Structure 1
Amino acid sequence: MTKLDQQDAWLPITESRNGNAYYSAFHTLCSGIGFQALVLPLAFTSLGWTWGTLGLSLVFIWQMYTLLLLIKLHESESGTRYSRYLRLSMLAFGEKWGKLLALFPTMYLSGGTCVTLIMIGGGTMKIFFQIICGDTCNIYQPTTTEWYVVFACFATALAQFPNLNSIAGVSLIGAVTAISYCWLIWVVSVFKSRPLGISYDQLTAKYFDAKRIFTIFNAFGIIAFTFRGHNLVLEIQGTMPSNAKCPSRVPMWRGVKFAYAIIAMCLFPIAIGGYWAYGNLIPNGGMLNALYKYHADDTPRWLLGLTSLLVVINSLSSFQIYAMPVFDNLELRYTSKANKPCPWWLRSGFRAAFGCLAFFIAVALPFLPSLAGLIGGISLPITLAYPCFMWILIKKPQKCTGIWYVNWVLGVLGMILSILVVTAAIWNIVTIGIEIHFFKPK
């Protein structure tokens, strides 16, 4: 029932098609939960208890619906499989507009996330070393840049796995570590004493000015960016076999439902518990920074070290799955011209080169996380808007029916939310500013 493409058998995403619901759950968990969950309480500082919880719940349901749309769109009625988000976008919007709308956001979500993971993983390695070494340690303390080098080397070495199915075990480790440190951090934060001067007060209506409005939009941007794995769902489904009796959407949806049930059990406690524990005193870095800032003295050193180690391992694992679309795109260009599989030495070279490039960007542009709101707003339609428009353009449901209205409304709302988040991010950059320092990671 599936039309096979010769070139698909040469590329890392579709080279192996023996995936299953377990692999789907592992990859979805690894890509769907991670460092972005730790900043969720920051959204609650702007939205408060009611709107924060309601906003998180609504976006969670919204992105689950668009996930289901993508999974159903993976296979056409003719049997053609669209195992890459960009190809599905080109089918729906046309080759020119499909590339224009989806190429930059998907590549940013892959490459930009890898750069951020080097920053987070390398920085947390430094913290882990300091915790283990202690205050009286006389051993040479590597700089932040040197820790970035260490992390990038480990990540590049792990990146030599040939295809997406081969890193299922790595994704499982990444999922387990992410769940572990999310629960460790919020449990410690909730059961330890709260800092003095904590407040949950929100600005009243008379202060509802431009600053307040844009702060609210930024908060919704933080929530929306938490669910950023949609650019990988088609790729994950592309690793599964498919036939008339059991199309790939069946095991894929089964794995996704299991994964997002666990993701919900991590995101909601860390968002609500973190805001309860720190209120408006939570630092910009989120829950991990709050743990070190407020509980470094009353928390066992081994527990702080374990939390840091889990973050490092999760960052290494997440790097692999987010880098895979980049590797796939690089090899696609070679196989299209050479009309043969990519040799192992060239494949290794591509991956080493990407690791070096990601490291260079992490060192050269250490202020990049400050632009996450801006770039996150640009890439937000990948999750909340494009799948709805794709369904309308590809499936062509009858006009003025329930499904037609639902997809149009959600698609338009997703685009409006993206514009508002981008506007708010630009406004913050202009009014508050960012600290720009090249080649000086902290």
Structure 2
Amino acid sequence: MQVGSQSLTSIASANWQGNEQNPQEAWLPITESRNGNTFLVTFQILCSGIGMQALVLPVAFPALGWAWGIVCLSLAFVWQLYTIWLLVVLHESVPGIRYSRYLQLAIAAFGAKLGKLLAIFPVMYLSGGTCAMLIITGGRTMELFFRTICRGEAACHAKSVSGAEWFLVFTCIAILIAQLPNLNSIAWVSLVGSITAVLYTTLILVFSIGKGRPSGVSYSPSEVGDSGMDNISSILNALGIIALAFRGHNVILEIQGTLPSGPKHPSYKPMRKAVVPYNGGLLSAFSKIHGHNTSKLTMGFVYLIVLVNCLCTFQVYAVPVFDNLELRYTARKKQRCPGWVRTGLRVFFGGLAFLIAVAFPFLGSLAPLIGGITLPLTLAYPCFMWLSMKKPRPNGAVWSLNLGLGCFGIVLSLLLVVAAGWTLADKGLDANFFKP
């Protein structure tokens, strides 16, 4: 959702000396409460960084092979960790001003027109689109949980529930939890989300190692086609999936905005302590390889904690959308959103995300394409923002590093988009519109 650059710039200001915020900042979900701490912020980062997006990582490894897959994943992890550090420092790069939203920082670094052009789509997709993906994942996980627990019970299959109905149940629960007023207030929800994320990724890894390698499985790169272009596009698509696994950057500034700040104690110090490594999950591979010989109690428990994690993660990624909606209301009315308006806006967004999930249940199949489009937000834009706002010495080490990483990120993004488009044109897409 687009907002005026003047409004975004004006609400970025804060008066350190008087410790007073722009009044509009105190009305919006992201910055309404700034009494967070390192522990609460850690939960938010863990919840947004670990979980659903890592579930597609096993799809990338057949094309890359086990060794190259680990190398690429490790390099991507170090790269995105560096860009997170850049964002954390740029949050208060101008004394007295806090950029608590990614779009604010993009406008400050690149100007109003270019900043909105570059950042609006990836930011909005990685917020609203992620919520739609969570509805798809959560709804299907609910169905899997139900089928696993009721395995062999005839009464459970007497009346089947459609995919859209599972999506609706998940959406209703998620929007009910989303009535919490602001980002800081959902920190304890994020605690549950981070615990479940670490738990199920660890369980899946331990169970998979304990089961051993299934017969007929190879960790060497697979040959996916007869032509060289098929193999190249497969490798690039795998890199796009890895890139998609690191997408919490669009909420890093928002999470940092919940921390108190002052000239002697800027927010980047506790934020640096809260930035923790992400983990990956192997749910889809484990379910397909070992699901047939694992007890239904074990599989049911894994599905349950994945479901809880999806509900908790939904809250973190939905807050930027709620903030955007309320920004438009408060800018027009010059007052805080009444409770009934805030509830109505959140129900409206839940309905919209549900409609997208039902209309495009194949959204996960577009992971390589979307990963390529949103890659610059994670790996390239922070480097260019640093160059624009910090203005390091030209041709120096810092200048060269950021320019090189930024340019390589843009080139890699273009290659990933081309490869994903080639694959879709060559293989086709099972576009089951409105048939979840």
Shorter chain as denominator, the TM-score bin is over 0.9
SS at match of 2:21: coil
Alignment of 1:210-359 (within 5 A): 210-256=229-275, 259-260=276-277, 263=278, 266-267=279-280, 270=281, 287-359=282-354
CA-to-partner distance for each residue in 1:379-414, whole Å, 9 max, x for gaps? 111100000000000111111111000000000011
Equivalent in the alignment of 1:276: none
Equivalent in the alignment of 1:59: 76
SS at match of 1:296: helix
CA-to-partner distance for each residue in 1:194-223, whole Å, 9 max, x for gaps? 33321233368x977111111111111111
Equivalent in the alignment of 2:6: none
Alpha-carbon offset, residue 295 of structure 1: 2.3
1:371 aligns with 2:390: no
Alpha-carbon offset, residue 32 of structure 1: 0.3
Structure 1 residues 427-436 or 185-194, which shifts more? 185-194
Alpha-carbon offset, residue 51 of structure 1: 1.9
Equivalent in the alignment of 2:11: none
Alpha-carbon offset, residue 141 of structure 1: 3.0
Residue among 76, 84, 88 paired with 2:105: 88
In percent, how many aligned pairs have the same letter? 54
CA distance in 1, matches of 2:221, 2:364: 26
Equivalent in the alignment of 2:60: 43
> For residue 198 of structure 1, what is the amino acid of its counterpart?
V
Structure 1 residues 129-138 or 316-325, which shifts more? 129-138
Between the two proteins, the alignment pairs up a number of residues equal to 416
> For residue 104 of structure 1, what is the amino acid of its counterpart?
F
CA-to-partner distance for each residue in 1:138-159, whole Å, 9 max, x for gaps? 1333221111111000001000
CA distance in 2, matches of 1:438, 1:166: 36
Alpha-carbon offset, residue 314 of structure 1: 0.2
Equivalent in the alignment of 2:165: 146
Alignment of 1:199-214 (within 5 A): 199-202=218-221, 209-214=228-233
> For residue 359 of structure 2, what is the amino acid of its counterpart?
A
Equivalent in the alignment of 2:435: 440
Structure 1 residues 164-173 or 2-11, which shifts more? 2-11
TM-score between the two structures when normalised by the length of structure 2: 0.92
TM-score between the two structures when normalised by the length of structure 1: 0.91
Equivalent in the alignment of 2:206: 187
Alpha-carbon offset, residue 192 of structure 1: 1.0
Structure 1 residues 207-216 or 154-163, which shifts more? 207-216
> For residue 28 of structure 2, what is the amino acid of its counterpart?
L
Equivalent in the alignment of 1:161: 180
Equivalent in the alignment of 1:175: 194
Unaligned runs of 5+ in 2: 1-14
Question: CA 1:388/1:208 → structure 2, altered by over 3 Å: closer, same or farther?
Answer: farther
RMSD (CA atoms): 1.6
CA distance in 2, matches of 1:54, 1:194: 21
Structure 1 residues 91-100 or 47-56, which shifts more? 47-56
CA distance in 2, matches of 1:432, 1:39: 19
CA distance in 1, matches of 2:35, 2:393: 36
SS at match of 1:109: helix
CA-to-partner distance for each residue in 1:8-54, whole Å, 9 max, x for gaps? 00000000000111111100000001122222222221112332121
CA distance in 1, matches of 2:287, 2:71: 29
Unaligned runs of 5+ in 1: 271-286
Moved over 4 A (4+): none
Question: 8 Å contact 1:4–1:80 — kept in the other structure?
Answer: no
Structure 1 residues 139-148 or 394-403, which shifts more? 139-148
Equivalent in the alignment of 1:282: none
Equivalent in the alignment of 2:146: 129
Alignment of 1:4-43 (within 5 A): 4-43=21-60
> For residue 218 of structure 1, what is the amino acid of its counterpart?
N
> For residue 411 of structure 1, what is the amino acid of its counterpart?
G
> For residue 404 of structure 1, what is the amino acid of its counterpart?
W
SS at match of 2:154: coil
> For residue 88 of structure 1, what is the amino acid of its counterpart?
L
